[in-house]
Amino acid sequence: MGKIRVGFGYDVHQLKEGYDFWLGGIQVPHEKGAVGHSDADVLIHVICDALLGAANMRDIGFHFSDTDPQYKGIDSKILLKDVMLLIREQGYEVGNIDTTICLQLPKVNPHIPEMKKCLAEVMGIDENDISIKATTTEKLGFVGRQEGVSAYCAVLIEKK
């Protein structure tokens, strides 16, 4: 067995009207979207951070600065693909990914199968190695007031 490492990611994005809402690599219909330098896909961002952290390669902002114009409006799936290349260059493969999205509205559960399919294709891993869960905050805090979305991610990677 190779060296096993774990990583953790956390991210938050503000929600505002007039923006598309990208989550887990797919566009989710909603009257508000996430605001960010890229497409603001909070789920992909936490996966990137967790993977980079597990490989001891800093974080998403280190590799893809939010002040760099080349990343303005970029599809986060491109960032995730690049992160997978970075960790694979270090000899790592994904064991599994466990995520939680915190969002009051819209309901995420109907979109989870499509998100898993999309992420698995981008990462070149099995859908069964990706867990996506969703919760509300029972109308408490910025998530409950529908001002933002947050997500958490834990990953396990193994050096082959």
Q: Summarize pLDDT for 66-104 with one digit per residue, the tens.
A: 888 888 889 999 999 999 999 999 999 999 999 999 999
Q: Is residue 61 predicted with pLDDT exceeding 70?
A: yes
Rounded Cα–Cα distance for residues 24 and 77 (Å): 9
When the pLDDT of each residue in the chain is averaged and rounded to a whole number, the result is: 96
Q: Quick one: CA dihedral 38, 121, 124, 134, positive or negative?
A: positive
Give tens-digit pLDDT for 20-57.
Answer: 999 999 999 999 999 999 999 999 999 999 999 999 99
Which residue positions form the known binding site? 11-13, 37-38, 45, 59-61, 64-68, 135-138, 142, 145
The count of structural domains within the chain is 1
Confidence (pLDDT) at 73: 87
pTM: 0.96
Confidence (pLDDT) at 70: 85
The DSSP code for 64 is S
Q: Is residue 160 predicted with pLDDT exceeding 90?
A: no
Rounded Cα–Cα distance for residues 154 and 140 (Å): 24
For residue 151, the surrounding DSSP H or E stretch is strand 148-159
- CATH code (residue 12): 3.30.1330.50
Average pLDDT over residues 128-138: 97
Which residue positions form the known binding site for a divalent metal cation? 11, 13, 45
Confidence (pLDDT) at 1: 61
Rounded Cα–Cα distance for residues 71 and 66 (Å): 7
Domain carrying residue 68: 4-159
Rounded to 5 degrees, φ, ψ at 34 are -85, 140
Confidence (pLDDT) at 68: 85
